[in-house]
Amino acid sequence: MRASFLTSLAMARIAVGGVINHSLPELNNLSSLYTLTAYTLNDCTHNGLKVNNLNLFQAKVGQYCPFTGNQSYFCPNGTDMAFGGTLTPIVLVPGGQDLYVNVDGTIAITVQHSHSIPPGAWWNYYGWTWTALPVIQSPLHDCPLNNPEYNCEPPTGFWNFQAPNAMVGGVKACPNKYQPSVTSLYAVTPDFNRTDCIGLAGLGTHNYTGPSPPVWAY
């Protein structure tokens, strides 16, 4: 009886010790440039879709470059939209560009040579929070590896949005208000009232290894 009790006690200590000493998974960091994808584990159609020009279902980034003809070699030849820090667009244009969220939830980038945003809009350093994901993850479920619109590598983490002092937040994929056939990204703000959108868990981040900067301007 005593031996059985001691054995049970030892096993309990091992079990408790195992829980206490169980190491947490190693998490990624956001120390390098990165690209974005739609992050939504319960939706295989949208999960892993590349974000280019703040749109989904777009295999390659589009850019504006003022150089043409025999000067076109000044234009970068990147294929993916890239960011650094807190969603700062990586571009060649002098002065750079900024990402912002408009009051209606539109996510946009400032025009070249201007750092002006609409009244009430939020700069990229307001409202966005990055969550790190484990270094070791399972592959994306049912991700179409041969479709260039997708990045099927597991994300290093994901961004989500909640405006300062707001009771609502999130990121959604919606028909573009100017081109309904295009799917664009929107942030959920207090004034966001779209009902024709797909909810996302966030915007996945992936280490960027292409030309830097990838474009002259967005």
As a whole number of angstroms, the distance between CA 70 and CA 19 comes to 66
**Closest CA relative to residue 171, chosen from 129, 125, 120:** 129
Torsion of CA 60, 62, 63, 67, to 10 degrees: 90
Per-residue model confidence (pLDDT) at position 24: 79
Bridge partners (DSSP) of residue 199 are: 172
Residue pair 158/200 in contact (Cβ under 8 Å)? The answer is no
Per-residue model confidence (pLDDT) at position 67: 95
Residue pair 149/57 in contact (Cβ under 8 Å)? The answer is yes
**Closest CA relative to residue 91, chosen from 120, 64, 56, 73:** 64
The predicted-structure confidence for 20-37, as pLDDT tens digits, reads as follows 446 778 999 998 999 999
Residue 70, token pair as written in the block:
């025999």
Residue 213 to residues 5, 77, 83, 209, Cα–Cα distance (Å): 67, 9, 9, 11
Question: What's the pTM?
Answer: 0.87
Per-residue model confidence (pLDDT) at position 22: 62
Per-residue model confidence (pLDDT) at position 9: 42
Per-residue model confidence (pLDDT) at position 95: 96
Per-residue model confidence (pLDDT) at position 187: 99
Place of tokens 């989904």: 56
Per-residue model confidence (pLDDT) at position 14: 40
Residues of the chain with pLDDT under 70: 1-22
As a whole number of angstroms, the distance between CA 67 and CA 71 comes to 5
Per-residue model confidence (pLDDT) at position 11: 44
Residue pair 48/179 in contact (Cβ under 8 Å)? The answer is no
Reduce the DSSP state of residue 102 to 3 states and report it.
coil
Q: Provide the strand spans (E) within 63-193.
A: 83-84, 88-89, 99-101, 107-109, 122-123, 128-132, 157-161, 171-175, 183-187
